[in-house]
Structure 1
Amino acid sequence: MGKRQKPFKPGHGYTKKDWDNVQSPELTASQIARAKPFAEAFPELAASIRRGRGPNKAPTKKLVSLRLSGEVLEAYKAKGPGWQSRIDADLRRINKIK
């Protein structure tokens, strides 16, 4: 196995000197054979950092297909992520739904 080092990229909270001072010897075949997936080695930690909302036990929204004009869609998307929720909130306000 040849030694491959990633190139240094500034802006990640460490200096080029820090980067160059890190020593990471290659793993032996024995070490690789004993390696476990992160979630198996640290199940509690893996569970605590898992992303996602998880199962929706009591769904409050329904999936529908809706055709909107391009102008309306672009106006909502232009305001950034969460445009679907903003459409929902505006429709609730117009229809006086809490």
Structure 2
Amino acid sequence: MNENKLVTPAVWNDPDDAPELTDDFFERADEFQGSKLIRRGRPKADQTKQALTVRYDADVIAAFKKTGRGWQTRMNLALRDWLKTHSPQEYK
């Protein structure tokens, strides 16, 4: 008779390996009153980002991706810097 076997072996985690819960952890934690969520742990930014779909040339994306993690933030900063000296109206 075939028995059900775990696909991956169960790994026991020692509870002593858990990270220490610091004051910083609790400051960022979600807060509930009963079952109602009062506050998310991540603070809201003063200026939020807007998600949209854009198409760029592959070489432009590759150049920014080569710089590693945070490449989208650096691309945003580069566009913001460009706007200081240019107007999008120039390229209509």
User: When the two structures are superposed, what TM-score results if normalisation uses the length of structure 1?
Assistant: 0.43
* More helix per residue: 1
* More strand per residue: 2
Higher RCO structure, 1 or 2 (CA under 8 Å, sep 6+): 2
Which protein has the larger Cα radius of gyration, Structure 1 or Structure 2? 1
